[in-house]
Amino acid sequence: MTSPAIHEPGRIVAVTSQEELRRLVGDVSELVLRKDIGRLDEHARAFVGASPFVLLATSAPDGTCDVSPRGEEPGGVLVLDDHTLVIPDRPGNRRMDSLRNIVGNPNVGLLFMVPGTEETLRVNGHARVVSQAPYMERLGVKGKVPTLAISVEVRECFFHCSKAFRRSSLWRPERWPDRDALPTLGQIMKEQLNLDVPAGAIDDNLSIDARDNLY
């Protein structure tokens, strides 16, 4: 069933210039401007080493964007030096949205998260898709070396404050929604793609794939 569109009455005013943005938001402090250190220092390295989850933002040459979640055991993202980190590309759905974007436009943004920690680490830079490198063996898990990896040349690096996590209560289980109140991915796929397969069977296949094809 398609939900009806909601049209709110009233005039909508769009902000169309950076000058107007600054006027509405206010001035930025010198400390906030200075927090971008442009490299992976010992604090950034420790955070990356503790992080099992990073969001990878990319954009195609035509400007269309994508954000992809990447999950690893802590330490799975390699920090080679102050300006280089490497993210293994594990088996997925083979759409390759992120990889195709990087080949066409190397600019990427990363957001590293550590469970229970409300601060995040933001890293921006230039990426390339790598198929051969001396470090590929180090990215292997359970004897399986990834076919590809994403090497990122760090241009910006800074920690982000806790406000988003405090507003969302993301790490507070007592605030999490009831999972049974939401449809399973199998139910969603069955309805969205009009599949002639029971939702339970789709969920079972997804569970088997997630168990057997992590690496």
Helix (H, G, I), strand (E, B) or coil at 52: coil
Q: Return the half-sphere exposure (C-beta side, CA atoms, 13 A cut-off) of residue 158.
A: 12
d(CA 108, CA 124): 6
pLDDT tens for each residue of 152-181: 999 999 999 999 999 999 999 999 999 999
Nearest to 54 by CA among 105, 135, 107, 109: 109
Same domain membership, residue 97 and residue 41: yes
Q: Is residue 185 part of a domain?
A: yes
Tokens representing 123? Answer: 């890293």
Q: Is residue 68 a part of any domain in this protein? A: yes
* Residue 195 β-bridge partners: none
Residue 57 lies in a domain: yes
Residue among 36, 44, 41, 51 nearest 113 (CA): 51
Query: In which band, very low, low, confident or very high, does the pLDDT at 2 lie, cut at 50, 70 and 90?
Result: low
The answer as to whether 12 is a domain residue is no
Q: Is residue 127 part of a domain?
A: yes
pLDDT of 4 above 70: no
- β 84-89/148-160 pair status: antiparallel
Task: Decide if 52 is inside a domain.
Answer: yes
In this predicted model, what pLDDT tens digit does every residue of 99-120 receive, in sequence order? 999 999 999 999 999 999 999 9
Whether 85 and 183 share a structural domain: no
Same domain? For 156 and 193 the reply is: no
What is the domain extent for residue 188? 177-212
In a domain, 69, yes or no: yes
* pLDDT > 60? residue 1: no
Retrieve residue 43's tokens.
Answer: 């604090």
Q: CATH number, domain at 101?
A: 2.30.110.10
Residues pairing with 88 in the sheet = 149
Predicted TM-score of the model (pTM): 0.92
Average pLDDT over residues 30-37: 92
List, for residues 71-82, the tens digit of each pLDDT value: 999 999 999 999
In the chain, the number of structural domains is: 2
My answer on whether 138 and 188 are in the same domain is: no
137 and 195 share one domain: no
What is the SS3 assignment for 57?
Answer: strand
State the average pLDDT for the chain: 95
